[in-house]
Amino acid sequence: MFRVFLLLSLAVLFTGSAALLPANAQTRLVKTKPTVASMAAGETVLFDDKSCPAGMIAQYTKSQRKEEIGKKCVHLNGTR
């Protein structure tokens, strides 16, 4: 009985910890081009600025320490 309780407790601990990740761990699709002022430090967003090859989208990430945004093209399905 104790083993079952221990295993269930560990399962809840590990699966529940995913909810404790910071909001910037999730990437969201935005409809307007991101700016330094519109993003939080470390935040990553996707925006289709039509500059990437077919099947890819622009990913913008705001720096943690500097007031700048990096951009790279990523695959839409997020596997590459």
What is the C-alpha to C-alpha distance for residues 80 and 72, in angstroms, rounded to an integer? 12
CB 46 within 8 A of CB 28: yes
Q: Within a 10 A sphere around the Cβ of 69, how many other Cβ atoms?
A: 17
**Residue pLDDT, tens place only, 31-72:** 999 999 999 999 999 999 999 999 999 999 999 999 999 999
Q: What pLDDT, on the 0 to 100 scale, is given for residue 5?
A: 47
Residue 72's SS3 state is: strand
pTM over the 0.85 mark: no
- Phi, psi dihedral angles at 19 (to 5 degrees): -75, -15
